[in-house]
Structure 1
Amino acid sequence: MRNRWNVEKDSVIGWLATLDGDVLGDVVRLGEETGAYRVVTAPALGFDRSVESRSYSEYLSGRPVDPAALSGVGSAASRIAYVNPSGLVVEDDVVELGALLPESPGRRPRAPLELMALRPPPTARLSITSCSDIWLPWCSAWHEDGAHRDDLADNRELAGRHAPRLNAFLTRIAELGDVELDPESTTPRLGFQVTGRGVRLDVENPRERTVWERFGDPGWPDLLEAARRAVRRAEQHPESAPYRSAVGLITDAIDHPLFRADHDVAREILRAAAVGSVLDGSMRVKVLAGEVQHVFEPEEIAP
């Protein structure tokens, strides 16, 4: 597994919050409690977490909290899941996302989440933005070889770990006032994954076209032939070239091994059936056996 997300020059997703009362200190506290936003340094207010025994919210406690509490932030961390150099998914408090992408053209030195007070209390206006699609289940694939400009890459495993923290943060901020999606800070082609309350983790890739074929025989020849038919049908539709094709294989035979197989066993079954060579390492495979669905990336089933 590898990191497929990017860090852009401008914001990728963003929200606007309108808050009633002197609650900017509460916003800082909620970011710490959810793990979505923790201030590390705030030079304008003399805060440096490395030498402080207190969190930033505790540091601000008892003093007037104006927009400088956010505009004066030098660095902030978010609890993020990413793939380390060994290929393992880890979670850590990350200050600078670009450092995690040393070889990628999608690398830029930005924080996972950025907050800015646009208007002071008593009716404060707050922007919450990110210049990275790491929070989203489907991120831009623009930097990958052979990808179309609008192709999307699967980031669901990582987003499923840290996006709930962002969603919890936005939900709790909404309890202090109102939160809405900021269309000017949100990339239109990625906007289907966000709402005024956060990131949608249940969305499918709209640029993936699945060609389904049915198989019933418990033996491998029928499964292999179904895969071949699906590939041929996908190749017969050049007008859908901007969309990445996936092969879907369906069986209703309750005695088929895929009905009772877990994901690892199903993967070995497909490898044994040589489906990987049929697909030439380019298409995702979805196997639907009854109500059980297995999804495999091309590299998982390559022979």
Structure 2
Amino acid sequence: MQKGISTAAGLVLGFALDRVFADPRRWHPVAGFGSAAAALERKTYADDRRAGAVHEAVAVGSVVAVGALAVRGGVLATALATWAVLGGRSLARAGHAMADRLDAGDIDGARELLPSLCGRDPAVLEAGGLARAALESIAENTSDAAVAPLLWGAVAGVPGLLGYRAVNTLDAMIGYRNERYLRFGWAAARVDDAANLVPARVTGLLTAVLAPVVGGSAGAALRAWRRDAGTHPSPNAGVVEAAMAGALGVRLGGLTQYRHGVETRPTLGDGPAPGAADLRRAVVMSEAVQLGALVSAVAVAVLRR
């Protein structure tokens, strides 16, 4: 029980650090891991699933080992690891900044900001497409950048925090279904799907429960989730995006152009396409869900034996 209380205290302190300081602008540990993973890829790359699995095991295993050593640091180590892997505050700031630029009619500025939220090609998007892309990214990253790290930290402490962020970062780097990574990135994509299976559904439930915060209803969020999530190509993004669409009363999905290609995404939710005002509501929803996830993670950590 004492270990669980220590973990819970570290999660709360790290969450508070993220609220106050957001992501460090320089020397970010996640950026450092990305550079190391890219260097490793130059040694391990082959157009083969087995090579990708080795790459995943070495990169993630190394980070988990570091986390296991850092456990000795107690509350402080957990707090610093939590701060390093959370991205909730930066996500909210980027969402508000995007809404501000859209409200001001600054399409060029909004396009410039979009890469900080997602990997879509901003050059082909107008105001409506930018609002939808940003809102879908906020929904997905509420789970990936906040809920999932907190839950993994509650269950597995510092190794869980760092290991999850390594898994998620590798998926962002090599999990694309393009020619280079179709086979090499297969393991990274599948491991990320597994790591987010429970957190995405916790995010969906919290979104439904907290929908009244933004004037929505739990029933609408749950209906959109049940009806639409399974049509999405991702087993996890579909859940959180559909729940968010239902909670906000907007329609997501449609033609989606990434730098690596074009995908036609299924329709999620009912109602009009989102605008800047809906994007602001999504940020409020995201921050409420993040707080709910912290409460849930603290409960799991304290009860864990």
TM-score range, shorter chain: under 0.3
- Length-normalised TM-score, structure 1: 0.24
Q: Highest relative contact order (Cα 8 Å, sep 6+), 1 or 2?
A: 2
- Length-normalised TM-score, structure 2: 0.24
